[in-house]
Every structure is written in structure tokens, then in C-alpha cells.
Structure 1
Amino acid sequence: MGQAYSTRTGTAHPKFREVGLPAAALIGLNVLLMAVVAMTPLAAINDLLFGIAPIVGLLVFGVVLTAGNYLAERGLESGDMGTAYAGIALLQAAYGVFGGGIVATVGSQSARAVLLGVTLAITVAMTVGIAAYVYVRDKDYSHWNTWSLGAFVVGAVLVLAGSFVSIGALLLGGFVFIFAGFTLRLGYEIWRVRDGYRADQPLTHSLGIYVAFTGVFVHVLQIVRQFVLER
């Protein structure tokens, strides 16, 4: 594979091997769970929640994801694996139900496999591009975390407004800002591995990459789904 790319904090390959493999395992499990959920009545939860109002679906999934991330991160940092597993289970369930609900809108199993495969390829390509940008431009990207939070807040406000005002542009804007929030968060997590890597907590970094990557994944999934349905 060649010599590892050197940085001021070490080498890229060992870091991303320790972080990337667990993150990839969590992502792979979640994509598989989405495919399974799509074949069960659980897939209807999406329509139920977002059918009440878009903001209801956003809040429910947002609360579960936030709780799951908090428990998983605290558990990993303290060494309490029971708490960490509980948090990861919540994250897997939330992303699995949300993604599975999207996948279920596509009829045939072959189309669902194509949908998930294309989405995974696009999201991986985006991640590689973001990682290359972060590493080539050897700068501080800590502010991306703040931008990410800001994008989530703006997105939530737009979804809230779009839930009560029949203006499609509001919901679309909310989608775009939340998508941007996860994308910025992914860049921030990659930067954290580059410049703030904690050798004693590689799984904490893996968790951050997994949460951000899968957030981007489900948004790309919705975009690709539209193309599949329009064919």
C-alpha cells in the first residue's frame, strides 16, 4: 500500500486502521439492519412519525440519536461497556428504522439492494473526498463542529416552520441544512482523528465517524431513492 502518509501527530494509516475498522463494522451492521427493517412492519414507523408532522419525526429520531450517542460515548470513555452497548444499540435502532423506512418505499428486493449499494458508494466517495481535503489542507477544523451545530439548529427551525406552513422550500431547506450538519460533523470527526487522536480511546473516534457517516448516508439514501422512484 506504500508508505503511510505522515502528519505532525503521527501517521495516517495506523490511526485510520484502528478507527476505521470498528467504524466500518458499525456502518455495515447498520446498513444490513436497514435492509432487514425494510421487510418488517417497523418500516412504517417513519411514515407514522413524519405523517403526524415532519418536526415530530425529526424530534423523535433526533432525541434517540442524541441519547444513543451520549450513552455510547460516556460508556466508552469510562470503560462501562454495558452503557456503551446500550448507546450503540439505540443508534443502530434509530438509523435502522429511519433508513429502513426509506428503503421500504422501493418495491423490489433487487432495487433495494441497488439503492443501498449506490448510496454506500456515494457516501464512501464523499468521505474519502472530505478526508483528502482535511489532510491536504493542514489546518484547524475545530470550527466545523460549531458550524455543524449551527446547521442542525437552522435545519430544525426550517423543518418546524415547514410543518405548519405549506411551503415545500422550507422542508427542502431543512433537509439541506441537516445534511450539511452531518457532512460538517464528518469532516470534524476526521480532523479529530488527524490532530486530536487519543490512542487510549480509538473506539470513541470510531463512534464519532460512524454516527456522522451514517447521518450522511441516510440523507444520500433519500436523494438516491428519489432517482430510483422516478425511473
Structure 2
Amino acid sequence: MESGTKRVYLDRADTTGNVVVTELIAGESPVVRVAETWFHPQGGGQRSDRGAMGPARVLHVAHHGGMVDHFVDSLAGLSVGGTYGFAVDSAWRKLNSVYHSSGHLIAGLVENLQHGLTAVAGHPWPGEARVEFEGQAEASSFDGLAIELSTRLGELLSKPIEVKVTGDPYSSRAIQIGDFPPIPCGRTHVRALSEISAIRVLSIKRKGNRVRVAYDALPP
């Protein structure tokens, strides 16, 4: 287990419970630190969770070395050593999980359809989501690839395919969608493709030495 804040969201998907406050940092953007957090910090291409912690609204969550900083609207009513109920905004968590799992699925499918391409980066933010690939695309138009990719995505979303966490959640965590190879990942995901209503391929373009697939995704 890592030192600092224990990132319980890596192992459990609870969105309500209790936390123990270990530090309060006053300032223009006040920060709460806790022994264990269920809030996903921004990073790895994914937006942070938001929600509530005791009387405070959690506006943003970020890594700070081995700690996790929870930026809140106010420290009023909180004290070090106190135990407080928390609630992660479950709708916001679900939306970001849908986008992140959709990006992993697009990465696996494109690598299957275009063996010369390898996924190297993802940016699953709602409204600006994309997956980037490096390598040589085979001699087919990107329009044709977009059509084929869209067809395959629709086929997979219609099947009962699991999205599994493999490895040790705190040291070797990876995400595996069906029979696709597991991908190391410390972010939040859906539990099955049935939790994704649709994935829409917006464009496939070459940008510099990369091929960029832009997409939208919808929860049920």
C-alpha cells in the first residue's frame, strides 16, 4: 500500500460513506486531506470527482505527491480528527467512467482494425474526448475506418461484455474489456459495456505524427 492518502476508489466503487480528516489547509482555495479517499483525483486524462464532504462541497480533487487534495468551498464545520460523511456525485462519476471505458474500447478496436497503429494517449473529457495513436495506418481512408469502427462499437455494446479490474488495485491495477488485452489504468470505469448507451465516432484525423479519434459517449 502506498504512503499518504489511501486511494480506496482503486479498489471499491462506493460513492457514499465516512472519511476521517487529517489536515485542513486554509486559503483562497481551501483543501481537505483525509486518511482514505473515495474521490478520484484529476489525472490520467480523466476529470476529477466532485461531491460533498460533511458540510463542504468538494469542487475539485488533485494529486499532491503522495497525498490527495480535496478543494472545497469552505472549511467551516470541519475539524482535524473529525469523521464526516461523504458523497461522490454519482452522475458525474458515471459520465466520466463511461467516457474512459469508451476510450479504452476504441483503443483496442483501432489496434485490431489497423495493426500498424498503437494507442499512446487518451483524453476522455466529456465534450472533447479523443484517443491518439502512433504508427502507420494501412491503405484505407479514415472515412472507411470511421464507418468500420462505428459498426464494431455498436456490435460490442449490444453484447454482455464485462469490464474487469485485474492485478493488485494499489500496485499493478489494469482494466480489461472482454477479451481485449488488459491496459494499466488507475482511473474509474464502468463494470460492463451495457452501462454505455452509445459511442459516436466524431472524426478520425492525422495530427502531426499521430492519428486522433474524437468521440462522444452516452450513459444509459
With a CA cutoff of 8 Å and minimum separation of 6, indicate the structure with the bigger relative contact order: 1
Q: What range describes the TM-score normalised by the shorter chain of this pair?
A: under 0.3
Q: TM-score, normalised by structure 2?
A: 0.25
Greater C-alpha radius of gyration: 2
Q: TM-score, normalised by structure 1?
A: 0.24
Structure showing the higher strand proportion among its residues: 2
